[in-house]
Structure 1
Amino acid sequence: MGIMVYLLLFATATIFFVIIFQVIFGNRFVVRDRIEEISLLYNVQSDEDEMRLPFVERVINPVYQRFVNALGNMTPSSIKEKYEHMIMQAGVGRKYTVNSILSIQFMLAIVMGALIYLLFRLLTGQGSILLAVLFGALSFFLPYVRLNSTAQIRQKKVQSALPDLLDLLFISVEAGLGFDTALKKSAEKMPGPLSDEIKKALDDIAKGRDRQEALKGIIRRTGVDDINTFITAVIQSELLGTNIATMLRTQSGVMRQKRRQRAEEAAMKIPIKMLFPLIFFMFPALFVVILGPAVINVIENVGSLF
């Protein structure tokens, strides 16, 4: 049993080192791999040059990449599509892929489960497998929860910035600018996730991508219903040949009204959200301050009778 504990400790430390190493140097490896793929088209690397590479790049990183690829191949396509949409909506597509997120989840579950098992074994002399499995399962969902939270925060920022951007866009079009130029100027004046997505769509259009597909790409990358409504109205306006300024005026009014309604809804939820802090934190303190002296007097009077 002692040998198993040491082996488990060694495996946990190794996986933990790999996780930290990939978090710190993962982006450099991605860039380096792309450069190597391009360089291999023109140059053939000799075995002697390969042996000059550090041990981590020659052994650990290839093993890790094979593990990531194998884990991605075993994952169902429906789950991979869900992760892809979440990565796009979170805006972290340049840093993470579906396989990297899955590998982080898997290794984090193993590390946390093993650490909990070893900790209880050192403290109590007996490890708890059930508790280790429970903590491992909870740790497995932590990256997913973090990614989902990042996506939701980004969606709220996009949703909040859309009415102001529409106002600025409407004013620019009314001033005589073309729609694409006005969209570019408005995005430059309002930095944020929405502006980044608009700039990406405009770059795709400049590179020759179909205009409607580039605009629909904003919908896929944000996942916000208001963006869907706006982009759909822009596409229909272009297809039907209607006045773009009139459409922008209508969309601006609708989006400002929706933002006002969301603010009113959030204000109506405040009393309910304040109920639990009042009950568990403020009411006990008030009871101690108000009823405390009375209780002390009652105890003293009852004690004097005896």
Structure 2
Amino acid sequence: MAGTMAGMVGGLLGSGSLRAALAIAGAMLLTGGTLAIDRHLAMSRIKLRVAEARSRGMGLVIEEPEDRPGFVTAVIGALGSVITASGLLSSKTREELEQTLRAGGLMTSHNLEIFIGAKIVLALGLPVAAYALLHHVAIRPFLFFAMVAAAAVGGLMLPNMIVGQRRKTYLKAIERGLADGLDMMVICAEAGLALEATIQRVSIEVVHAHPKLAAEFTTTYNELTMGSDTRSALINLGTRTGLASLKRLGATLVQSIQYGTPLSLALQTLATELRQETLTLFEERAARLPVLLTIPMILFILPCVFLIVAGPIVVQVMKAMKH
């Protein structure tokens, strides 16, 4: 009986149907995890609040938009919820993940669970897909298992890479529009608007040109108007993203409120400093161009110069050797 069962299991393991099933399962897991990261992590509530604020002409949105995730996202989010509720993640690790998502504008009530669930799905799905694809390839067993293990590690690190790239894009978009936002804040402050009204107005006006910056200003305005401490709300403007420029803006606004300095003068000084730093950064990049052009010149230009200069001499030497 035991021999018969072993033979049946061996036959199933060697059959093509099991390999096809593994390939399909791995493809489904990989597709579901990739879609969850690329699509649903990007649907943050901050963007929806800004869109609703534009339609209403207001900077404060009280009602939360309802999230209706798809089936795949719901399953992945449920898996992430199980992991987060089980206590496997330490509080420090959870805070670091939340900070990473928050710095990329992706921190909502479900994105953390989707992020963790996607890591688990990809860490399990990619090795299954790699096993199904490499099963018939003639490679050494050590290399085969090494590639399967590499697929598992890659699936575990892929969400971090995607979120990290989105975080860099998000922060660069904020930095590009911060100087323009500060100039508009100066105009509003000189017009006599209060700090809350200034932040609200700027968040509405720059939403078309710099939506990421508008989202951060909208969040800050919401915190200011919902009874939060003014100092904490302004400090959180830089803490959420980790940008030094936003931290300086929050500190400047806090000092202006604390010591009674003119808000327009402080903002104008900060805007001038940021534009000067941007100009200095461009000058540094321009100064590196000669060094960066050295490698293309060696690879593409110098061989052509040598060919033109030494080519006739080589041809004459070859003719002389034939005679």
* Match among 253, 256, 266 for residue 275 of structure 2: 256
Aligned residue for 1:71? Answer: 83
After TM superposition, give the deviation of residue 147 of structure 1 in Å. Answer: 1.0
Q: Secondary structure at the match of 1:123?
A: coil
1:13 maps to a residue whose letter is I
What do residues 227-256 of structure 1 show as CA deviations (whole Å, max 9, x unaligned)? Answer: 101111101111122221221222122222
Aligned residue for 1:209? Answer: 228
Residue range with higher mean Cα deviation, 137-146 or 84-93: 137-146
Is 1:120–1:126's contact at 8 Å kept on the other side of the alignment? no
Instruction: Name the CA shift for 1:110/1:159 in 2 (closer, same or farther; >3 Å).
Output: same
Q: Distance in 1 between matches of 2:318 and 2:11?
A: 59
Q: Secondary structure at the match of 1:74?
A: coil
Q: Distance in 1 between matches of 2:130 and 2:289?
A: 39
Q: Using CA pairs under 8 Å that are at least 6 residues apart, name the structure with larger relative contact order, 1 or 2.
A: 2
What do residues 68-125 of structure 1 show as CA deviations (whole Å, max 9, x unaligned)? Answer: 2343332333332222111111112248633322332232233333333332322327
Percent of pairs with identical residues: 19
2:269 maps to a residue whose letter is T
Aligned residue for 2:182? Answer: 166
Counting only pairs closer than 5 Å after superposition, residues 123-138 of structure 1 correspond to structure 2 as: 123-124=137-138, 128-138=144-154
2:171 maps to a residue whose letter is Q
User: How many residue pairs align between the two structures?
Assistant: 279
Aligned residue for 1:89? Answer: 103
Tell whether 2:186 aligns with 1:141: no
* Match among 13, 17, 21 for residue 10 of structure 1: 21
Q: Secondary structure at the match of 1:268?
A: helix
Structure 1: state its 5+ residue gaps.
34-55
Q: Distance in 2 between matches of 1:284 and 1:3?
A: 60
Instruction: Name the CA shift for 1:152/1:172 in 2 (closer, same or farther; >3 Å).
Output: same
2:198 maps to a residue whose letter is A
Is 2:25–2:125's contact at 8 Å kept on the other side of the alignment? no
Q: Distance in 2 between matches of 1:262 and 1:61?
A: 41
After TM superposition, give the deviation of residue 219 of structure 1 in Å. Answer: 1.4
Counting only pairs closer than 5 Å after superposition, residues 11-26 of structure 1 correspond to structure 2 as: 11=22, 13-18=24-29, 20-21=31-32, 23=35
Q: Distance in 2 between matches of 1:290 and 1:120?
A: 52
Instruction: Name the CA shift for 1:288/1:65 in 2 (closer, same or farther; >3 Å).
Output: same
Aligned residue for 2:47? Answer: none
Residue range with higher mean Cα deviation, 258-267 or 204-213: 204-213
Q: Secondary structure at the match of 1:216?
A: helix
Q: State the TM-score, normalized to the length of structure 1.
A: 0.75
What do residues 37-60 of structure 1 show as CA deviations (whole Å, max 9, x unaligned)? Answer: xxxxxxxxxxxxxxxxxxx96xx8
* Match among 20, 23, 31 for residue 67 of structure 2: 31
Q: State the TM-score, normalized to the length of structure 2.
A: 0.72
Q: Secondary structure at the match of 1:180?
A: helix
Query: Which has the larger share of helix?
Result: 1
- Alpha-carbon RMSD across the aligned residues, in angstroms, is 3.3
